[in-house]
Amino acid sequence: MSDTPQVIPLPTGDRLYFRQLLSGQDFATSDPIARQMVNFAYLIGDRVTREAVVVDPAYAVDDLLDILEADDMVLTGVLATHFHADHVGGDMMGYSIEGVAQLLERQGTKIHLQAPEAELVRKTTGISASDMELHAPGDIVSVGAIDIELLHTPGHTPGSQCFLVEGALVAGDTLFLDGCGRMDLPGSDPAAMYRSLHDTLSKVPDDTVLFPGHRYSFEPSATMGHTRQMNYVFKPSSEAQWLMMFGQG
């Protein structure tokens, strides 16, 4: 397979609404931390019912709500890939980041989480249990007629999750085009990351398009087939080999 960068269009369909937004460029343009961290937020919804959810809102929630309003969409929920402040808001590096707490104040809705991430999100953001909708692996969140499958992918954090919707995989910090999320942070687990990548995500078809949580590569997306071919995290052939390469300590 060629290592030439792919040009991947955003997923489209009769009803699917899908936007990939880069912090510091598409929103939070005046925030130096947002520009440094190059997070992606995502808007996913149903063009017919005009309902939409936001994935990993951080830095400038009003900007994200303004984009939805300009697109004639209405926010009905929040999906969080994991608890880190650059994805859901909170304190990071002595800097206070806007996120789900501020969003829920402006727009009453629920944040959808894998159950193991709930307490970590509460501590990071200050939101309450009543703000959360807790899920198990394989649950479906429906936005109008658009179904989003929740894949539990621990490793970077205990409750990390990816979202599978109509040929797109929104992967947070579980998987980037090059590399994967860090495994040396509190709650990280290298063995769990191996299983998430090599077992859970191995079931995702090659033509599914990977949309990561950060723009750490020139291209903002790539097919899973291309990623599996080119990304070094898929090179180990066993968990033991993986832990020799990536195990911490």
Q: How far apart are the first and last CA of the chain?
A: 34
CB atoms within 10 A of CB 115: 14
Alpha carbons 146 and 18: distance in angstroms, whole number: 11
Bridge partners, 209 (sequence order)? 168, 223
CB 148, CB 112: distance < 8 Å: no
Break the chain into its structural domains and give their ranges: 16-246
Q: In a 10 Å sphere around its CB, with 0-12 CB exposed, 13-18 middle and 19+ buried, how is residue 121 labelled?
A: buried
Bridge partners, 79 (sequence order)? 55, 112
Percent of the residues in the chain that have a pLDDT greater than 90, as a whole number: 89
What confidence score (pLDDT) does residue 92 get? 81
What confidence score (pLDDT) does residue 4 get? 53
Residue-wise pLDDT tens digits, 124-182: 999 999 999 999 999 999 999 999 999 999 999 999 999 999 999 999 999 999 999 99
What's the whole-number mean pLDDT along residues 175-201?
96
CB 75, CB 19: distance < 8 Å: no
What confidence score (pLDDT) does residue 161 get? 98
CATH architecture for segment(s) 16-246: 4-Layer Sandwich (3.60)
3-state SS, one letter per residue, for the chain: CCCCCCCCCCCCCCCEEEEEEEECCCECCCCHHHHHHCEEEEEEEECCCCEEEEECCCCCHHHHHHHHHHCCCEEEEEECCCCCHHHHCEEECCEEECCHHHHHHHCCCCEEEEHHHHHHHHHHHCCCHHHEEEECCCCEEEECCEEEEEEECCCCCCCCEEEEECCEEEEECCECCCCECCCCCCCCCHHHHHHHHHHHHHHCCCCCEEEECECCCCCCCEEHHHHHHHCHHHCCCCHHHHHHHHCCC
Range in 32-36, 38-42, 48-52, 93-97 the model is least confident about: 93-97
| pLDDT surpasses 60 at 248 | no
Alpha carbons 84 and 69: distance in angstroms, whole number: 27
| pLDDT surpasses 90 at 18 | yes
Q: Residue 148: which of 200, 80, 85 has the closest Cα?
A: 80
Give me the residue label for tokens 């629920």. 110
Alpha carbons 126 and 176: distance in angstroms, whole number: 28
Bridge partners, 179 (sequence order)? none
